Amino acid sequence: MDTRDTFRRLHETRFIMPNPWDIGSARLFASLGFSALATTSAGHAASLGRPDGGVTRDEAIAHGHLLAGATPLPVSADLENGFGDDPKEVALTIEQASATALAGCSIEDYSQDAGLYDIALATDRIAAAVETNNANASRLVLTARAENHLRGNPDLADTIARLQAYQAVGADVLYAPGLVDLDEIRSVLSSIDLPLNVLIMPGGPSSRDLFAAGVRRISVGSAISLAAQAATVEAARELLDHGTHEFWSRALPHIGAISQAQSEDG
């Protein structure tokens, strides 16, 4: 069974999918017992010293392919808006991603330049991705994202309508990042037939509560990447501002797990 089949079957269960930003973090997550991984556009961009959205199509796909080869786990790539507004550009992105070791990918209905796409164009873009994906003997697990709640437009009815439209044209998984109200998440779940991915958010429901509600997949986005960067800032500030290094004592209990993960052959 290839990783695409493995990833597809995982959606018949419930699982948490962390988002590594480099080979080291991918191997660490794999060693800790996760069953699948996903790239993070923000975490990848930050590792290159760029803001989110500052990575090209070629860079994102190459990065996803690299992480897919780092462990035996399925990897889904955050491919942002497919790197183009036109459905043909989205199709090209899927074609190129399909030629890699990736198990899946996600496509957003938002552009930093154009904002939220209208629902007709957004649906056409997912349809183009599906058509290209279906031309492959081994299909990527395609996740369609409705970005409303993450982009300042918390319109639940529109979010549900978008997810239903993406389901109708053949997406495999649906995703509305930014949802934090458990009742709203239940409303989404009752309105769709496909597996739903939920992004953990500050103040949002726990993984236990999300699974109990019927969520199949939970991802962390850039959260752990940001936590790692925040820990780096705290350690550096302690050393620079106070001349102390208590961060060593916080790191020591985890050195064994980190060393073991990095010594494993992906």
Q: What is the tens place of the pLDDT at every residue in 12-39? A: 999 999 999 999 999 999 999 999 999 9
Tell me, yes or no, whether 229 lies in a domain: no
Q: What is the dihedral of CA 179, 184, 185, 186, to 10 degrees?
A: 180
Is a pLDDT exceeding 60 seen at residue 174?
A: yes
Question: By percentage, how much of the chain surpasses pLDDT 90?
Answer: 97
pTM of the predicted protein model? 0.96
Tell me, yes or no, whether 50 lies in a domain: yes
Tell me, yes or no, whether 255 lies in a domain: no
* Domain harbouring 8, CATH code: 3.20.20.60
Tell me, yes or no, whether 250 lies in a domain: no
Q: How many structural domains are present in the chain?
A: 1
Average pLDDT, integer, range 115-125:
98
Tokens of 190: 């009752």
Tell me, yes or no, whether 265 lies in a domain: no
Per the CB < 8 A criterion, the answer to whether 133 and 97 are in contact is: no
What pLDDT is stored for residue 262 in this prediction? 85
Tell me, yes or no, whether 259 lies in a domain: no
User: 135 lies in which domain range?
Assistant: 3-224
Average pLDDT, integer, range 216-231:
97
Neighbours of 222 (CB within 10 A): 20
What pLDDT is stored for residue 95 in this prediction? 98
Tell me, yes or no, whether 231 lies in a domain: no
Is a pLDDT exceeding 50 seen at residue 115?
A: yes
Tell me, yes or no, whether 249 lies in a domain: no
- CA distances for 100 relative to 54, 79, 80, angstroms: 21, 13, 17
